[in-house]
Structure 1
Amino acid sequence: MRHSFSLLAAIAAGLFAVPAMATDYPLKLDNCGFALDIAAAPQRVVAIKSTAAELLLSLGLEDQLVGLAFLDGPLPEALGGTNIPVLSEKLPSQEVVLEVEPDFVYGGWESNFAADGAGERPTLQQLGVASYVAPAACRSVKPEKLSFDHLFGEIAEMGAIFDVEGRADALIAEQKAALAGVAADTRGLTAVWYSSGTKAPYVGAGSNAPAMIMEALGLTNVFAGVDEGWTAASWEAVVDANPDVIVLVDAAWNSAEAKKKLLAENPITSKLDAVVNQRYLIIPFPASEAGIRNVPATVDMAGQLAGLSF
């Protein structure tokens, strides 16, 4: 998958500056129903999950990052970050997080902030550590159906928190321009977003990144009626829907090639038109969750979709 990280790389390298008004601290925010009161731009940050790490790096905040954890795959080379310590391949414990003395922890999932994980948010707050959950991953407060504007809002909020509003504005402008170049397919195609699972598929449903991306591509999501980001389905339901296209999430632990093999060998799915004719769209796992990779992934998948014949 090709990515356009020209601006991101320039920002990360300190080559791009956009004048903007400075953040007026203390900054008070509501994040997933949790009140934040940020006295100054964070200086020692732990990022948990790829979406959190990649957004901070794209804003040129590598020097503030003191630890990464629970990454979903390699970071894009253009963003740098290779010298930042990886605290844990999985969800880090509170002890591991606190060892690097952070003043801010940014989690890609709300579940990252558990007593047996990075620590509960009120506990971290008492210790002087602010915490932030990617809004699309809120669970304490049910998020609205995800849109690209919501993603741009998260970028803008990070820009305010770290007093780099100019960089955030530039990144948003670049992503909006790229998204504007995507023309929705007009063939009336249906699709299933196959995220994971073998005995039964875990699929993209109607309210998070899969739904957002498929809508931008002009695809009708077979499971759009389920008001969740993802949902457990059945192979029988997929066969009954007989989708025109199958989106395959390419993860290190469940690759797109492994998914193709399973679909071709499973007697239930092997006769599907999409399987017989190899009508697949591929997206890397780190780009399949709400984050800065969604726009470049949508651009790339639009190209893949245009190349499919029916």
Structure 2
Amino acid sequence: MRIKGLLGVCLLLPGLAACGASGTASSGAPNAARSSGAVTTSCGLDTRVPAPPRRAISLEQNATEIMLSLGLADRMAGTSYQTDPVLPSLAAEYKKVPVLAKQYPNHEAVLAKEPDFLYSTLSSAYADQAAGPRAGWKKLGVPAYLSVHDCETVKLTADEVRFDTIFNEVKHIAAVFGVEQRGEKAVKDLRVRLDRAVREAPKNTGAKLMWYYSGTTTPYIAGHGGLPSTVSKQVGVDNAFDDIRHKWPAGNWEEIAERDPDVIVLADLTRGGDGDSAEAKKRFLRANPVTSQLDAVRNNRFIVVPGSAMDPSIRSVSLAEELSKGLTALYG
């Protein structure tokens, strides 16, 4: 749920920007990475990519699944930090990639694989105790790409996650590896699925949703600007906490009871923490004296989605699909 949004990744040729002045990528951006001496810029750091990488390391699951979706298993020297079962369609390719660590590998473990490209959608992958800062990898001549959704610096982060941002990142990664056509096809397929999910969602339900990510004593819920907020708008429902100007604020049950959402969307997390699984959330909500009185709880209006789908990734469209199906089941 550590998500930040910004359409600020550019692919540059020396002396030629492939991004418009507004910061959004132009249609020529993906092609720039194919040329010798191309530069990739992400979250304010530009590094040279002299040739399509052959020994890339994806540092967490979102990055891994984007790369595998582009057919890049044979270009990967390693992966790490699997938080959920890999998408079934990618499972066979995933088995071909060495797993370096259960969570983040440290700098030495990454360096030992002699990578020529690092990729993460989360800035925590580049912490000192993890793979190490991107600037340090730049000095070693290794491009370290960070998703625009979680830049290290707040000023580089936009207020909202948008699907165009996600789709452009997929195309940018495809361009870095010289497989632009795969990127275009992947994005085209995602757009078709997203359009269908929006089209098939029930209209004019007036439903107010609470997106419940984790925690029981202190619940973490979706506020404004994150992927759940964006998906709610696309599908035509309201995020009951969209007035809170944080993507994942810490809530309290008394305020939640006052707002009394119509539907609760439950993140089904597999990490085993307090209130992580969807079933654990349901048990808590039904047992707690305050939450058991919520209209959504009394009427069993729950929609369960994989927790990983709430992050901007190749799975993001599936969040819209699951919400659309869930609303259809509840409202017809």
Q: TM-score, normalised by structure 2?
A: 0.84
Match of 2:234 among 201, 206, 216: 216
Aligned residue for 1:231? 249
**2:120 & 2:245 partners in 1: Cα distance?**
23
Ranges in structure 2 where 5+ consecutive residues have no aligned partner = 1-29
1:50 touches 1:71 (CA, 8 Å); kept in 2? yes
> What amino acid does structure 1 have at the position aligned with 2:262?
D
Q: 1:41 aligned to 2:47?
A: no
The separation in 2 between residues aligned to 1:255 and 1:93, in whole angstroms, is 29
> Are residues 1:161 and 2:203 paired?
no
**Is residue 32 from structure 1 mapped to residue 36 from structure 2 by the alignment?**
no
The 3-state SS of whatever aligns with 2:293 is coil
Q: Using a 3 Å threshold, how does the CA distance of structure 1 residues 36 and 226 change in structure 2: closer, same or farther?
A: farther
Unaligned runs of 5+ in 1: 1-19
Establish whether residue 69 from structure 1 lines up as the match of residue 80 from structure 2: yes
| Separation in structure 1 between the aligned mates of residue 246 and residue 52 of structure 2, nearest angstrom | 34
* In 2, Cα distance between equivalents of 1:309 and 1:219: 12
Q: Match for residue 16 of structure 1?
A: none
- Runs of at least 4 residues of structure 1 off by over 3 A? none
1:114-263 aligned at under 5 Å gives the runs 114-140=127-153, 141-181=156-196, 182-183=198-199, 184=201, 185-252=203-270, 253=272, 254-263=276-285
Cα distance between partner residues in 1 of 2:165 and 2:204:
25
Q: How many Å separate the matches in 2 of 1:77 and 1:142?
A: 32
2:303 aligned residue (281, 292, 304): 281
**2:227/2:312 contact within 8 Å kept:** yes
8 Å CA contact 2:148, 2:157 repeated in 1: no
> Residue by residue, what CA displacement relative to the aligned partner does 1:48-70 show, whole Å, maximum 9, x if unpaired?
22110000000000001111111
Shift of 1:103: 1.0
Q: CA–CA distance in 1 between the matches of 2:244 and 2:36?
A: 41
CA deviations 1:216-252 (Å, max 9, x no partner) are 2222112212333211111112111100111100011
Cα root mean square deviation, aligned = 1.6
Partner of 2:318: 296
Task: Give the aligned length.
Answer: 291
Deviations 1:150-186 (A, max 9, x none): 1111011111111110000001111111111123542
Distance (Å, rounded) in 1 between the aligned partners of 2:65 and 2:49: 22
Give the counterpart letter for 1:83 in structure 2: K
Equivalent residue number for residue 50 of structure 1: 61
Relative to the length of structure 1, the TM-score reads 0.90
**C-alpha distance in 1 between matches for 2:258 and 2:40:** 46
> Would the aligned equivalents of 2:73 and 2:96 in 1 still touch at CA under 8 Å?
no
Q: Is the 8 A contact 2:38 2:48 kept in 1?
A: yes
Query: CA offsets per residue over residues 41-94 of structure 1, 9 Å max, x none?
Result: 111111122110000000000001111111111111211211212111112211
Maintained 8 Å contact 2:225/2:245? yes
